[in-house]
Amino acid sequence: MNPPATFLERLIRTGGALLARCIYRISAHGAERLPAGGFLLLPNHLTWVDAIVLQLACPRPIRFLVFDDIYNARLLNPIFRAVGALPISPRKAKDAVRAASDAILAGDIVCIFPEGELSRSGMLLRLKRGYELIARTAKCPVVPAWTDNLWGSIFSFKGGKYFFKWPSQIPYPVTVAFGDPVPAEKADIALVRERFLELGEFCYQQRPMLRGHLGEACLRGLRRGQFTVGVVDGSDHSTLTRGSLLAAAIALSRYVRAECPRHRVAIVLPPGRAALIANLAVLLADKVPVNLNFTAGTAAVQSCIAQAELKHCLTAHPFVKRLGDFPWPEHTVFLDDILPAMKHDIIAWRAAVLLTPSWLLARALGLPRVGDRREAFLLFTSGSSGAPKGVALTHRNLLANVQQFALMLDLSSGDSVLGSLPFFHSFGATVTVLFPMLEPVAVVTYPNPLEISKLAALIERYKISLVVTTPTFLRGYMRKAERAQLASLKLLVTGAEKLPDDLAKAFHEQFGIKVLQGYGLTETSPVAAVNLPEPKARPGDAVQPSSRDGSIGKLAPGVAAQIRDPETGAHLSLHESGMLWLRGPNVFEGYLDDPARTAEVIVDGWFKTGDLARFDEDGFCFIEGRLARFSKIGGEMVPHETVETRIVETLGLGGESERTCAITAVPDEAKGEALVLLTTRDFDQADLRKKLADAGTPNLWIPRVVRKVEAIPVLGTGKLDLKRCKELAAP
């Protein structure tokens, strides 16, 4: 039986709660899961006020473990003593464990922050194992808890400082979720991290902004700082302010709403000012933009047009001439014809943008208040291993992913992003179309990601902060860019395919820039994980790694993960290798009109990525290969990417400016499949086999066939064209 609370304790708890409730609006979930007796509470740790927020969310008093140097601070000690906090010291760890265990056995809730320190990046840190000792000593259940939306508040380290920030709103909304109790003997750091991620995903899904409409969000984003440059078209160096971009898009949206009656509207344009206006106009007309892949074959494009039931297309005369026999939808709208005629309308709308509040402007445009799970963008997978599939991304998906991306990168007004990836590419659509519209950053566009000399010149001229590219395009910078041209880059992120270690090292040596590998899929809107620069630290602060070589980084906020056996679907530890399953507000809900293929990849809300992965103790995720890039030979799974890496290392091809080899497979009667090496080099097959064997390469990993090709086939997005590789490998 716990002793009755003292008058001072009741006064501090009551007064503190009243004050805190004036500042925070707390929504608590899962309190009914809390055990009746004593237990160990494990929350994440983002701010100096986490303990106050947790206590407000919890129906029972919590006794917090506090480091003794803080506990003994003159002003704080009376408060800590009054609320029953327990001091903990690394020098007297056994005493702290005993005191915590005794309190739990007496029926108290004891709370320890397992990260042991405040996060300076907003990301979940390594979990210290001390809590395991307390739980096993007390033989008590462990309850994970998650506080969401505190990152960015004045008590967090966002922006590189605590306290000295203006609150974004008062009262400040916070969500707290308590998880299911975990028996002490099962509560290892892998399982607790997994539960943290799941609670974080649940909390993120509660954010009200996710129910909004993407068009209205873009409208609000562009009205902020509307006199600053929003778009630089790198083809002719023309510029548009954020307000003028919005006005032009509104004028065009009236035309789209009147003349394009179908729900979806095709857009066939390269990255540039016109393509940005077109995409925004379709959103503001409350319709769905469908950026078609103009680098794909005729059959693939026709398939996309048929699947999406497209009848109208926005494009421009010069681009039509470039594409030749492109299979256009029935009705083609030429922006270079209609936009000049809208000059007076655009001027009028520019005045309206200046004078009208965002919410009123949205209602005048007929935008619904709620977008949520309605389709907002339709993208098609690249077809690297088959026919393109329609990925219907919702307003919730895209609003979430832009915010996730923004929270991780922490760019601000004055920063800019290079927009050279095609907008039919998921990274191009989210990172270089939507991100600059919702956040206060500019975009510098250029229509061709292969013209590296031009891109490098744009980076230098406009002091670009962020470049998102692929390893294939990265090799071009090594050939054609000068070190000084890339000096302004704060972030250089690669995705779409695995970043070879030798390429990352060679790039860093040449330019002095660390390449940060990220990970995403069209189905995840696309950003799911990314490495980040190390957060700022004060003298004496512990190191909090935000990147790890060879990994794809940590998961984006609000993304949960599980590792499953790729054949049986059995649940594995995060620290084991298996198929990566993801869940989050950015994860799509299904393929377009294809319930069968949707059911193959979505199980109980979890998305089966098809990638084999594992997590380390710091939460960094390592992709070990795509299941589609494995061969089962003689009963053993052989990873194509690992074989490619072994060949590159053995033959000394590291740091090459062009991709020189790719592994694929063909059917084999004896062993199921046989590896085929496609290469642009002349290799003696017997000599290659000997060198690989001498280097310790397993016999099953040594390609049976070596086939020389003029170039390794890649898609317009920079990814390896797996379908074409198989065609070249066929006997």
What is the arithmetic mean of pLDDT over 151-180? Answer: 77
pLDDT confidence of residue 634: 60
Mean pLDDT, the chain, integer: 87
pLDDT bin (cut points 50, 70, 90) of residue 628 is low
Confidence of residue 297 (pLDDT cuts 50, 70, 90): confident
The model's pTM: 0.86
Higher-confidence residue of 570 and 161: namely: 570
Dump pLDDT digits (tens) for 226-245. 999 999 999 999 999 999 99
Residue 505: is its pLDDT beyond 70? yes
CATH number assigned to the domain covering 214-534+547-608: 3.40.50.12780
Residue 671 pLDDT > 80: no
| Residue with the two structure tokens 């170039």 | 711
Q: Judge if the upstream peptide bond of residue 4 is cis by omega within 30 degrees of 0.
A: no
Mean local confidence (pLDDT), 262-284: 96
Give the model's pLDDT for residue 170: 72
Q: What's the pLDDT score for residue 402? A: 95
| Secondary structure of residue 358 in the 3-state scheme | helix
What is the per-residue pLDDT for 473?
83
Confidence band, pLDDT 50/70/90 cuts, at residue 645: confident
Residues 468 and 493 sit within 8 Å (Cβ to Cβ): yes
* pLDDT: which is higher, 446 or 668: 446
Tell me the domain boundaries of the chain. 7-206, 214-534+547-608, 629-729
CA distance 419 to 52: 43
Helix (H, G, I), strand (E, B) or coil at 531: coil
Q: Write the DSSP symbol of residue 423.
A: T
pLDDT band for 513, please (50, 70, 90 cuts).
very high
Which region among 320-334, 602-616, 703-717 has the lowest average model confidence (pLDDT)? 703-717
Q: What is the pLDDT of residue 551?
A: 93
- Measured CA to CA, the distance from residue 3 to residue 108 in angstroms comes to 11
At the topology level, CATH places domain 7-206 in: Glycerol-3-phosphate (1)-acyltransferase (3.40.1130)
What is the arithmetic mean of pLDDT over 309-316?
Answer: 95
Q: Please tell me the distance from the alpha carbon of residue 585 to that of residue 579, in angstroms, as a whole number.
A: 20
DSSP 123: S
Q: What is the 3-state secondary structure (H, E, C) of 226-280?
A: CCCEEEEECCCCEEEEHHHHHHHHHHHHHHHHHHCCCCEEEECCCCCHHHHHHHH
The angle at the Cα of 517, spanning 511 to 519, to the nearest 5 degrees, equals 155
Q: Which is more confident, 164 or 308? A: 308
Q: Higher confidence at residue 692 or residue 282? A: 282
Question: Where does residue 163 fall: left (phi above 0), alpha (psi -120 to 50 degrees), or beta otherwise?
Answer: left
CATH class held by domain 629-729: alpha beta
User: How far is CA 703 from its chain centroid?
Assistant: 35
Residue 719 binned pLDDT confidence (cut-offs 50, 70, 90): confident
Within 10 Å of residue 302's Cβ, how many Cβ atoms? 12
Q: Does position 2 have pLDDT exceeding 50, yes or no? A: no
What's the CA gap between 511 and 483, in Å, rounded?
5
